[in-house]
Amino acid sequence: DAGVIQSPRHEVTEMGQEVTLRCKPISGHNSLFWYRQTMMRGLELLIYFNNNVPIDDSGMPEDRFSAKMPNASFSTLKIQPSEPRDSAVYFCASSLAGGNIQYFGAGTRLSVL
């Protein structure tokens, strides 16, 4: 298996633009997680899905952020409108049923100018 695949690897955009980050989890995994990593706050869980259903989105910073998982093999994290403080590395991870190892993608480095 190719592992968790994220795209794009790098995204540079201007303030106010819409940004969409994409994730393909490992086939057969039924849990998917979105994280954000910054120097100031470290790694933070934004939202996680179980069987395509959002279970906990308490980490989503504000309404500008939204996440979807239309099927078991694809998820998106959208920021609209983007702001400079959204600049970070966004990671997607997947795992089998709860309690198991999480496998991380390589991340998307987002820069909002």
Binding mask 92-111 toward other proteins (x if CB under 8 A, else -) reads -x-x--xxxxxxxxxx----
Which candidate, 37, 16, 29, places its Cα nearest to that of 83? 16
Shortest Å, Cβ 99 to other proteins: 6
Shortest Å, Cβ 75 to other proteins: 16
52: amino acid identity, one letter? N
Name which of residues 25 to 84 contact other proteins (CB under 8 A): 31, 33, 42-45, 48, 50, 55-56
Shortest Å, Cβ 27 to other proteins: 18
Contact 108, 11 (CB under 8 A): yes
Check residue 90 for interaction with other proteins (CB under 8 A): no
If the CB atoms of residues 3 and 84 are measured against other proteins, the closer one turns out to be: 3
Report the helix count and the strand count for the chain, using DSSP H and E: 0, 11
**d(Cα 33, Cα 18) in Å, to the nearest integer?**
21
40: amino acid identity, one letter? M
107: amino acid identity, one letter? G
For residue 12, what are its two tokens? Answer: 């540079």
Q: Which of 46, 65, 91, 112 binds other proteins (CB under 8 A)?
A: 91
Q: Give contact residues for other proteins (rule: CB under 8 A).
A: 4, 31, 33, 42-45, 48, 50, 55-56, 91, 93, 95, 98-107
